[in-house]
Amino acid sequence: AVVDPPSGDPIEDSLGVVPGGVDAAGVRALRWDVEDVPSAIGRAVAPVANDTSIRIGIGVALYSKDWTIEVIDIEAAFLEGEITEPTFIHFPEGMEQFGYIREGERDSNCIELKKSMYGNVDAALKFFQTYSAHLINTQGMRQSQADPCVFMKEEEDEIVLIAMTFVDDTILFGTKTWIEWFKKGVEQRFKYTDEGKLKKHLGIAYEWKQDEEGEPYIEATMKKMIEGIINAYDNCNSTT
């Protein structure tokens, strides 16, 4: 919303606009958060499930032979977060040149954000709060007390689905039926990209295999990182 400059609340700077960044007739503006570091501590958080959680999830999925592991990616996630305190930004540079505001309006007015946006120091946290509220209140999932980025769906005191969040990615552990249930519930509120079966995440490649007895297992590798370390070592030796 375009408003008069506030008297008490600070106005943050923003980056320039990119015409057509959102759609053919729209613009995309990124906020440049200039808060001092101490004031941002506690809000500049990217909530992710810990490594132990994902290892447990993989183990449970392999033990439960009818379970699988899939990944979805929430689209434009940082635009979904709800803002709970007044937040103002200057008009991004370029708005006058592209005709989105009148000449001089950039000096006399500012923008009050109604939703979170990319560049906000707390954009990831605000999205997580909005997303987790939907999973708990709308889809009836239970949030783990050990890892707040892990959510479980229970039926008759049995866990039938586990969801782990990594900022805008969600790894799903469960039967195909329950994973589809989760996706249908999410699409009531968010748009997402279906990444399919877990193959790669956070730099780790996952390959689904079977042993000689037909039991499934997953081979996790970090080939690019290993090759990078070897190349760096070789280059170091060649210069000494």
Distances, alpha carbon 39 to alpha carbons 15, 36, 86, 88, 118, in Å:
21, 6, 16, 16, 18
Whole-number pLDDT of residue 95? 76
Whole-number pLDDT of residue 1? 59
pLDDT in tens, 178-228: 999 999 999 999 999 999 999 988 888 888 888 888 888 888 888 888 888
Most confident of 37-41, 97-101, 107-111, 147-151: 147-151
Residues 102-128: what's their mean pLDDT?
82
* DSSP state for residue 56 in the 8-state scheme: H
Whole-number pLDDT of residue 31? 44
The confidence band for 87, taking pLDDT boundaries of 50, 70 and 90, is: confident
With 80 as the cut, is the pLDDT of residue 7 above it?
A: no
With 50 as the cut, is the pLDDT of residue 30 above it?
A: no
With 60 as the cut, is the pLDDT of residue 235 above it?
A: yes
**Exposed, middle or buried, 129 (CB in 10 Å: 0-12/13-18/19+)?**
middle
CA distance 238 to 219: 33
Give the DSSP H/E element, type plus range, for residue 102.
Answer: none
CA distance 168 to 190: 11
With 70 as the cut, is the pLDDT of residue 146 above it?
A: yes
Whole-number pLDDT of residue 43? 56
pTM, to two decimals: 0.75
**Exposed, middle or buried, 1 (CB in 10 Å: 0-12/13-18/19+)?**
exposed
Distances, alpha carbon 46 to alpha carbons 16, 79, 120, 172, 218, in Å:
24, 15, 12, 19, 27
Whole-number pLDDT of residue 151? 97
- Partnered with residue 150 across adjacent β-strands are 164
End-to-end CA distance of the chain: 61
Q: Please enumerate in sequence order all residues whose Cβ is within 8 A of that of 155, keeping only pairs 6 or more positions apart, or say none.
A: none
* Comparison of pLDDT for 11 and 229, the residue scoring more: 229
* DSSP state for residue 181 in the 8-state scheme: H
With 60 as the cut, is the pLDDT of residue 114 above it?
A: yes
Residues 10-14: what's their mean pLDDT?
54
The confidence band for 162, taking pLDDT boundaries of 50, 70 and 90, is: very high
Whole-number pLDDT of residue 18? 39
Least confident of 78-82, 103-107, 137-141: 103-107
Distances, alpha carbon 15 to alpha carbons 26, 89, 98, 156, in Å:
16, 10, 15, 51
Whole-number pLDDT of residue 240? 59
CA distance 186 to 192: 8
Whole-number pLDDT of residue 236? 78
The confidence band for 109, taking pLDDT boundaries of 50, 70 and 90, is: confident
